[in-house]
Amino acid sequence: MKIISLLTELEHLLDDLSFKELQLSQAKRLKKSVQIFKCQLEKQALDYTQGQIQSKQNSSAFQAQTHETSDEGQNTNLQFSRLSHDLKIPLNRIIQFINLLKEEELSKKQLSKINTIENTTQTLLNITNEQLVKNSRLNVDLEINEKLNFNLRGLVKDVMYLCRTLLNNKDIHIESRIDDKVPEILVGDPAKLTQVLLNILGYAIKYVQEGSIDLAIYLQKKENNNYYLEFIIKDTGIGLATNQLKHIFDASENSENNRVDSSYDLDLSISKQIVLDLNGNINVNSVLGKGSEFQLILPYKKSSIDLKSKINVSKKNESNVLKNYSILVFEDDELERKLLEERLKIWGCKFYFTDNVVYGLMLLESHKIDLVLTDLNTHNYRVFDIAGKIRRNKVLKIREIPIIDVASSLAVKNHQIYSKYKINDQILKPYTAEELLNKIIENTMKMKKTVSIPSKYINPDIEIISDATKINLSKVLEECLGKIFLLEELVLLYKQNTLEFIGVLSSELPDGDMKTVAFAAHKVKFGLGMMQSKSLHSLVVQIESILKADGDKKYINFLLKAFVEEYQLVEKAIDQQLNALKSVN
């Protein structure tokens, strides 16, 4: 409930913003994203409370069964961590919009208001992150050790950030440093390293009242391509006596001692297990009253990705850094799309957005695309569907296009599927602009080095999914009060209208009046909607949005071609439907 009151405050702050002076569209978007987020939150909170009430009712019915209450606790925990996760992404989206706003020229007054909004959002995010820290400790699959490329510095940055949110105003200085000899990109299991670091740092935060916590990472030794990293976590906490020290990694012993919170002991014993599984080592030194020092040794390999070739861009030079790039984005979320558009515009690259697999693939065939980004909230299988179709394409160049998936949760198991579909990389939400930029650059550079995909992956029968099969005219017939003659007339008009639209576009596009094109697009939409031709409708919407933006004729022409092809399928389907309805009526 604290979150909701904070949000209401945030909403008021947004109302106060002087919209006339701000760029109207941006201010509107920001406000809309806050509102949508708040609605989601309220719904979630409601579901959550209802869930709680329900489980309470259930448990009172079975009071004799004592284990019922512990189940309830677990359930609540799970629900809450899910809630936290759902909150994190929209909150980050707000922050990203705020960042975009801050890049505009703002008056001092506006800037101070924006800062207040940012602070409020940050507080919300911190509350959410605390829950996520608790959750991430429980969520790592202990059985599988992954071998993934990961950026150690980025990982440590995230861990430190999460730890700071755990401090709760304690006067603790928390810091990290990584020796220059430690490679940028390592191969190993980042999720497990995160868990171990969070566990140990969490333990330190628990027992340090004031002073400092330091994480230092060194290269202990290097054998061939094996890099043994030493992690030292030093705190100025209450420390441990020698007899306690012996059993620090033993959960059951410690809970008997009553000295510490058993959940943290469990964390330490899990950490030790993980470290041993990773062929590493963990030690602790401690002086009662002075503090503790944990030492971890973990082996990693250096990644073959060459980061020296990475273009390092400072914030100010970011604009137009991707000038000669073309990126195709599969995106099904309006707000995310806007956000990405803004970013890609700043980087100066050419970009195409779609949420439709078929048109995405057609785009790939007709345009020079350097990279595919997939960010589809609905279902993972769609991402795999897209990746599968790209990797089986007839054209070698298309088969080799790097694909980066924007994922909303770090599901470790995803990686197996990723490699199956040859998805090159993953970026986890929330990501910073810089992280995305680096991923794009890394992957487009890597592409030049990749080996060709063998021709056995080529499937000559690329299936085209079309909406044509989904057309159902019975609703339209209902609107015609069951009069088949009227439906026939409407179908005829529909065909005339659509063909006229194709005609207008074909004749006006080369050097005609774009206003006529826009008007034709606007007008044809109604008929398409009425005859349930969703795929055609969505193409027209895309044409309209290009007309509003830069009016790229090549792209519109391409969409028109797709429209014509799809229309042939739709027309056939409509005729079949009409005949079927005729025979029934």
Partner 1 sequence: MINKKLLLAEDDELLATLLNFRLKKEGYIIQLCRDGREVKDQLTIQIPDIIVSDIMMPYFSGLELIDFVRNDLKSDVPIIMVSSAGNEENVLSAFELGANDFISKPISPSELIVRLNRILCKT
Positive or negative, the Cα torsion across 198, 204, 208, 212?
A: negative
Residue matched to tokens 């003659």: 485
CB nearer partner 1, residue 1 or residue 481: 481
Q: Select from 19-27, 158-166, 266-274, 491-499 the region that touches partner 1 (CB under 8 A).
A: 491-499
Query: Given the complex with partner 1, which of 238 and 530 has the nearer CB atom?
Result: 530
The residues, any chain, with a CB within 8 Å of residue 214's CB and separated by 6 or more, are: 174, 175, 176, 177, 232, 233, 234, 235
Q: How far is the CB of 523 from partner 1 (least distance, A)?
A: 6
Three-state secondary-structure class, residue 327: strand
Quote the CA–CA distance of 250 and 180 in Å, as a whole number. Answer: 35
526 scored as a contact of partner 1 (CB under 8 A)? yes
Based on the shown chain and the rule CB under 8 A, indicate whether residue 161 belongs to the binding site for partner 1.
no
> In the complex, what is the shortest distance from the CB of residue 494 to partner 1, in angstroms, rounded to a whole number?
6
Secondary structure of residue 403 in the 3-state scheme: strand
Residue 311 within binding range of partner 1, rule CB under 8 A: no
x/- map, 500-519, partner 1, by CB under 8 A: -------------------x
Judged by beta carbon, residue 463 or residue 485, the one nearer partner 1 is 485
Query: In the sheet where 350-354 sits, what is the strand order?
Result: 350-354, 326-331, 371-375, 403-407, 425-428
The verdict on 479 binding partner 1 (CB under 8 A) reads yes
Residue 338 CB, shortest distance to partner 1, in Å, is 15
549 binds partner 1 (CB under 8 A): no
Q: Of these, 523, 534, 538, 564, which contacts partner 1 (CB under 8 A)? A: 523
User: Which residues are bridge partners to 232 per DSSP?
Assistant: 216, 295
The residue among 481 and 584 lying less far from partner 1, judged by its C-beta, is 481
At residue 274, what are phi and psi to the nearest 5 degrees?
A: -60, -45
Query: Which residues have a Cβ under 8 Å from the Cβ of 417 and sit 6 or more positions away?
Result: 380, 384
**Choice from 181, 345, 420, 522 touching partner 1 (CB under 8 A):** 522
# residues near partner 1 by CB under 8 A = 19
Contact segment (CB under 8 A) with partner 1 among 171-179, 306-314, 420-428, 526-534 equals 526-534
Using the minimum distance from each CB to partner 1, give the nearer residue, 134 or 338: 338
DSSP state of 307: G
Write down the least CB distance from residue 506 to partner 1, Å.
Answer: 20
Min. distance of Cβ 26 from partner 1 in angstroms?
A: 17
Specify the residue, 457 or 519, whose C-beta has the smaller distance to partner 1. Answer: 519
> Shortest Cβ distance from residue 544 to partner 1 (Å)?
9
Residue 537 tokens read as 């409708």
Written in H, E and C, the secondary structure of 533-575 is: CHHHHHHHHHHHHHHHCCCCHHHHHHHHHHHHHHHHHHHHHHH
Among 481, 510, 513, 584, binds partner 1 (CB under 8 A): 481
Q: Does 494 bind partner 1 (CB under 8 A)?
A: yes
CA angle 184, 187, 191 (to 5 degrees): 100
Angstrom distance (rounded) from CA 105 to CA 101 = 8
493: contact with partner 1 by CB under 8 A: yes
Rounded to 10 degrees, the C-alpha dihedral 235/241/243/244 comes to: -50
334 near partner 1 (CB under 8 A): no
Q: Does 483 bind partner 1 (CB under 8 A)?
A: yes
DSSP class of 444? H
Question: Residues interacting with partner 1, by CB under 8 A?
Answer: 479-481, 483, 486, 489-490, 493-494, 496-497, 519, 522-523, 525-527, 529-530
